[in-house]
Structure 1
Amino acid sequence: MSGPDAGGGSAGARSGAPGRAVLLRTLRGQRRDVALGSALGAAHQAGEALVPVLIGVVIDQAVAEGDAGALLLWLAVLAVVYVGLSFSFRFGARAGERAAEQGAHTLRVELVRRVLDPGGGAENGRLPGALASIATEDAKRVGAVAMALMIGISALTGLLVGAVVLLRISVPLGLMVLIGTPVLLWLGHLLSKPLERRSEAEQERAAHASGVATDLVAGLRVLKGIGAESAAVARYRRTSRDSLVATLRAARAEALQSGMVLALTGCFIAVVALVGGRLAVQGDISLGQLVSAVGLALFLLGPLEVFSFVNADLAQGRASAARIAGVLAAPPEVTSGGARLPRPVRGAVRLRGVGHGGLREVDLDVAPGEMLGVAATDPADAAALLRCLGRQADPEAGMVELDGVPLRELDPADIRMAVLVAGHDADLFEGTLHDNVGPGATAPGGDGSGRIARAMAAAGADEIVRALPLGGETPVSEHGRSLSGGQRQRVALARALAADRPVLVVHDPTTAVDAVTEARVAAGVREFRRGRTTILVTTSPALLAVTDRVVLLHDGRVADTAPHAELVRRQAAYRTAVLA
């Protein structure tokens, strides 16, 4: 039920360099759309800056002179400028949104690829919900940096065009803008630092709350069964409160940053307008130039306000990029070796002096084609054995071999194609019942009438098909919650059997089915896997009875090895674990 703290992997994620590398890589990947959007956005802002200039020209050359022809000409010029503004904004925004969405999508694919890497390791210290939050919200925020960059370049262009025009109107006005703008940008950057820190804390807490919620929902039936609903609610309430406090702190930091930047910007624009008015009164600039100067001052308010939002987006993007970098840079649980498995895989499994978790000096030989039962008196020992057999982790001592080749010398992806470890808590996915068993389950004359159909019959899943209104096409909800526990177990077992790996390791596949169905499943698995190596890690007497022999793991060691009936007769620990 409980998982590791979602923030456990954040220490490494706080390093700025990996986060900047993620940001830069995302921007480089979308450089074409970013460049196009920036160019069109810059053209739009330049046109916006020229609008008050054209209005000033209309006043000086048409209105003041009473020239109707000139008035119509400049009004036509204004119309053309506005048409250009409309199209440049439309297509520039489209390019920016495309860059943001494509960048976020690329990051999500990269994160999913890392999480699903056969070497593992990305999930260490993170709940599943936290990983989902990183792959969605954080990826979205990093992708939004592309749009923020485009908007920032556009705003900067507008400021530069406005400054140049103001320099032509009046040198003091132009210098004021050129000097004041960098100062405002620097102050905005300083004000964004607290926001970046608090945004990272907010994202960490939100991800942890999401992870805890996912963990609790996944174990809802267990919680109800043991009467732990109140404890679960209290746990989530504490986590959610921490997330709320972090979110409010980040919101206050963002409000303070935006408010301070806006106040500084307003003061700056007021000073520009005041200086321009004094110059007009003194006759240094014309009436049209005064109108242009005031219009430009008002226009500059927009680009300067934009910088506060851009700074906020960049701060949040940097924090999210650091979290993404932490997942991508997580060291693998197991590394790839240079050895290759012999073809075909015979299925000989050997453990020599294996020590891992609670396991101590475990020696075990499984012959090709043997069906071996493993009964562990401690569930933790069974879990440790499964991790070693599937190479989810390398043993702390000793080695595991497949056909004489140590697993640590093999590529984890190659091992997955030869050895399938079907865990007790295997999940089902959204789709139909047949989709969850395997591709081709409904193909006429193909796997549907062959291996997959036999796998479903061996696992007792054919009864589920007959019982459901739509048969194998019955939709299955997320995690298989629309099915009962026993139905989920049988479908998951059918999927494991249908994969038809040379070595199959199954952990407690029938804990939620009745005794009659369990006996049928045991016989079905025995027949289906005849001639291929199968290891049943279970305490079910029905399953252990159909194995060739059973290994008793007691106190982390191999205590005895014999057929099921013999172990029942001579081992009290075995009777307690299997028959109690």
Structure 2
Amino acid sequence: MGASGPSGRGVLVRAIGGQRRDVVVGTLLGAGHQAGEALVPVLIGLVIDRAVAPRDAGALVGWLAVLAAVYVMLSFSFRFGARAGERAAEQAGHRLRVELVRRVLDPVGGAESGRLPGALASIATEDARRVGAATMALLSGLSALTGLLVAAVFLLRTSVPLGLVVLLGTPVLLWLGHLLSIPLERRSETEQERAAHASGSAADLVSGLRVLKGIGAEPAAVARYRLTSRASLSATLRAARAQALQNGMVLALGGVFLAVIALVGGRLATSGAISLGQLVSAVGLAMFMVGPLEVLARVNGDLAQSRASAARVAAVLAAPPETPSGGPGPAEPVLGALRLHGLSSGGLRAIDLDVAPGEILGVAATGPADAAALLRCLAGHTAPEAGTVELDGTPLRGLDPARLRRTMLVAEHDAQLFDGTLLDNVGAATDGGKDLRPAMAASGADQVAASLPLGGAAQVSERGRSLSGGQRQRVALARALAADRDVLVLHDPTTAVDAVTEARIAEGLRGLRHGRTTVLVTTSPALLAAADRVVLLDDGRITDAGTHAELVHRQAAYRAAVLG
């Protein structure tokens, strides 16, 4: 990943190479179909010269049987060749989607940096599909070239001048078609970027709709999305115009090319250089070549779009990781001792903090930005500007992220729920078979289940929209507790619940996490009162430490942040 990640060309080559068998089979069958199509006018010319003109009934029947056999062969080839091509395109797109999802979910992170979730979804769907479609485009292009080559060979056998016109003219047409595809490739890339941005903005707008309604910001949000949508529409229209221009120009050039072939063939027939049947074959081959030339025009456009999409896919796959990978896992047994030494990041300045194994520590930050910066460092999403975060004496940045997350969990405030049952969401971070009742009781999620008609089997819609804010928080907290990590960091897990429920959660959390290291980054009095020790994070520095009651008594900044 990062600098060593794949390029757009590499993504395209790998997508095609991964379906080598189907591409080869489809190309051979497609070439057989095109060769059969090219043979049809040749056989018709032979029928005219060898059966119709001399009025030979036996020869006519024989040549018609040959013609029928050719039709059967080309029909068979088209059916199974197209099936192989479509299978190659679908499988290539699917494998690319799996690779993109794996990269996005990789514990090292980084793939989502600077991209909205909707943009990533667009890349994993539409761009992956277009890259996969390159296999079908390549197959179709090679088949079309085969048809043109067969037509040129028979034209050469009929007349050298006619064959030379085809052999010299076809490369020129292909070169011109490539030149015309360059603007399309550039505009197609812009089109996909704009479409992905519009998709991401729409997803962001829908997810925050309740908040927008609450603050009366709907008109501004709609106006902003309308501008984004119009920019996407403009880019799509520009790409469509470029594609239409390319197709039209290629077809116009192809028409001129065919007119030249017909003119040369007609002059040869009138001079007696070729027979009537040969003239019919030549004109038929010229008409046949309209199809392959149209295919080549379309293939140029498809490959241009595939190259643009491959570049966008490669940008995600090659995104630099947020955290290094490949290091060792935490030392066994895990004690759970956390140490922040000289930590500086964002607004945090030279923080020194030790969390003893099994301690429940409260962190009250007077500024939300400082709390967020601390969470990013603990989760490994941000490399500290200075200092280290250590687990049992080993810096977190030196540990393998996947193995670290099986030991230490940072549950952020905006944790999302997923489509499925309530129990599925709570048990999502477990290996299955775990008793979820203690975590649900400690978090108050048991009350949520009791309030639903189907209890724990009730369906939770995407992002938990079927639940209230407080219910979503309790289910998310139950999921974090059920994960049963040696070190658990919670960020404001009870901001949407009432005071009575919050007090019950504080008591349950202390009982369930007794003897296991827990860090509560919050300004909730109930949760801070349940902590063994509380530190005050004020203006980016640790300014005091003590119990909740002690800090309330002696720190005005603490009282302002916690008691409001």
- Fold conserved (TM > 0.5)? yes
2:428 touches 2:479 (CA, 8 Å); kept in 1?
A: no
1:442, distance to aligned residue in structure 2 (A): 13
Q: Look up the match of 1:9.
A: none
1:165 corresponds to 2:154: yes
1:340, distance to aligned residue in structure 2 (A): 3.8
- Distance in 1, Cα, partners of 2:431 & 2:28: 53
Q: Look up the match of 1:4.
A: none
- Distance in 1, Cα, partners of 2:157 & 2:500: 93
* Residues 395/260 of structure 1: CA separation in 2 closer, same or farther (3 Å cut): same
Residue type of the alignment partner of 2:119: A
Q: Look up the match of 1:178.
A: 167
Q: Which of 278, 285, 289 is matched with 1:296 structurally?
A: 285
Residue type of the alignment partner of 2:10: A
- Distance in 2, Cα, partners of 1:569 & 1:74: 107
Q: Look up the match of 1:564.
A: 548
Q: Look up the match of 1:217.
A: 206
Q: Look up the match of 1:6.
A: none
Q: Which of 304, 318, 335 is matched with 1:346 structurally?
A: 335
Worse-superposed segment, 110-119 or 330-339: 330-339
1:337, distance to aligned residue in structure 2 (A): 5.8
RMSD: 1.7
- Distance in 1, Cα, partners of 2:491 & 2:65: 79
Q: Look up the match of 1:5.
A: none
1:155 corresponds to 2:144: yes
Q: Look up the match of 1:464.
A: 448
Q: Which of 106, 111, 116 is matched with 2:95 structurally?
A: 106
1:390 touches 1:415 (CA, 8 Å); kept in 2?
A: no
1:464, distance to aligned residue in structure 2 (A): 1.4
> How do residues 48-63 of structure 1 correspond to structure 2 at under 5 angstroms?
48-63=37-52
Question: Percent identity among equivalent residues?
Answer: 75
Cα deviation, 1:298-324, whole Å, max 9, x if unaligned, reads 000100111110000010111111111
- Distance in 2, Cα, partners of 1:440 & 1:404: 26
1:32 corresponds to 2:31: no
* Residues 310/337 of structure 1: CA separation in 2 closer, same or farther (3 Å cut): closer
- Distance in 1, Cα, partners of 2:491 & 2:376: 11
Q: Look up the match of 1:518.
A: 502
Residue type of the alignment partner of 2:78: F
- Distance in 2, Cα, partners of 1:16 & 1:284: 61
Unaligned stretches of 5+ residues in structure 1: 1-11
Q: Look up the match of 2:413.
A: 424
1:23 corresponds to 2:7: no
- Distance in 2, Cα, partners of 1:541 & 1:361: 26
1:282 corresponds to 2:298: no
Worse-superposed segment, 92-101 or 143-152: 92-101
- Distance in 2, Cα, partners of 1:206 & 1:439: 32
Q: Look up the match of 2:249.
A: 260
Cα deviation, 1:116-137, whole Å, max 9, x if unaligned, reads 1111111111111111111111
* Residues 468/351 of structure 1: CA separation in 2 closer, same or farther (3 Å cut): same
**Number of equivalent positions:** 563
Cα deviation, 1:246-267, whole Å, max 9, x if unaligned, reads 1111111111111110111011
2:430 touches 2:483 (CA, 8 Å); kept in 1?
A: no
1:409 corresponds to 2:398: yes
1:28, distance to aligned residue in structure 2 (A): 1.0
TM-score by length of 2: 0.97
> How do residues 484-499 of structure 1 correspond to structure 2 at under 5 angstroms?
484-499=468-483
Q: Which of 305, 313, 319 is matched with 1:316 structurally?
A: 305
1:120 corresponds to 2:109: yes
1:241 corresponds to 2:234: no
Cα deviation, 1:340-364, whole Å, max 9, x if unaligned, reads 4211211100000100111001111
Residue type of the alignment partner of 1:464: V
Cα deviation, 1:367-408, whole Å, max 9, x if unaligned, reads 111111111111111111111111122211100000111111
1:114 touches 1:328 (CA, 8 Å); kept in 2?
A: yes
Cα deviation, 1:409-455, whole Å, max 9, x if unaligned, reads 11111211111011111111111111111169998xx52xx3x1111
**Secondary structure at 2:289 match in 1:** helix
1:434 touches 1:442 (CA, 8 Å); kept in 2?
A: no
1:265 touches 1:301 (CA, 8 Å); kept in 2?
A: yes
- Distance in 1, Cα, partners of 2:539 & 2:431: 46
Cα deviation, 1:328-348, whole Å, max 9, x if unaligned, reads 111111113634421121110
Residue type of the alignment partner of 1:522: A
Q: Which of 519, 537, 547 is matched with 2:521 structurally?
A: 537
* Residues 16/110 of structure 1: CA separation in 2 closer, same or farther (3 Å cut): closer
Worse-superposed segment, 156-165 or 428-437: 428-437
TM-score by length of 1: 0.95
2:490 touches 2:521 (CA, 8 Å); kept in 1?
A: yes
**Secondary structure at 2:453 match in 1:** coil
- Distance in 2, Cα, partners of 1:27 & 1:296: 31
Q: Look up the match of 2:349.
A: 360
- Distance in 2, Cα, partners of 1:339 & 1:303: 57
Residue type of the alignment partner of 1:165: F
Q: Look up the match of 1:433.
A: 422
Unaligned stretches of 5+ residues in structure 2: none
2:336 touches 2:487 (CA, 8 Å); kept in 1?
A: yes
Residue type of the alignment partner of 1:476: V
> How do residues 38-117 of structure 1 correspond to structure 2 at under 5 angstroms?
38-117=27-106
* Residues 571/264 of structure 1: CA separation in 2 closer, same or farther (3 Å cut): same
**Secondary structure at 1:115 match in 2:** helix
* Residues 165/21 of structure 1: CA separation in 2 closer, same or farther (3 Å cut): same
